[in-house]
Amino acid sequence: MPHGGLMNERSMGPVEGPFLRARLHIRGGKRRLRQGKIAEGIVTLYDALLGAMEWYVNAPEHRDRLAAVQKFDLKNDSNVYSLLVRIGVLDGTFDFTGFDKLAETALNGKLPASDYRELLAGIESVMTQLGVMPFDEASLPPEDPRTF
């Protein structure tokens, strides 16, 4: 993954770790798409989205918005996405279910050739709504060219 060697997520905790992972994977996923490594880019961007949602539900500044839904299953990614739409953090226009299926297809190496610019725009929209984007890539640790 693009954060290999750039961070120790476990030592950073459940807020800072997923947040930095999300940003590193946005950068790495976009790079992989530009390089034509489509399946790898999709999977990397999917992990970026999961990291961003994990950060959001764990960040202390968001607890008030999430307090009313304490019994919600926060271990299920689809449930977390639905919850964030339900409480108004996300507008719900992004097809999370479709992206989840696409990432699964990418993991199985059966990704169809396509133009993924619309998908990337949707992911960037979700990341902006969550507060993970925009960011200055220069603020991130430099990429290791040895990473895939």
pTM, full prediction: 0.85
Q: Is residue 107 part of a domain?
A: yes
Q: Is residue 45 part of a domain?
A: yes
Burial letters 3-31, b for 16+ CB under 10 A, else e: beebbebeeeeebebbbbbbbbbbbbbbb
Q: Is residue 44 part of a domain?
A: yes
Residue 71: which CATH number? Answer: 1.20.120
pLDDT in tens, 19-75: 999 999 999 999 999 888 899 999 999 999 999 999 999 999 988 887 766 666 778
Q: Is residue 24 part of a domain?
A: yes
pLDDT in tens, 99-137: 999 999 999 887 767 788 899 999 999 999 999 998 877
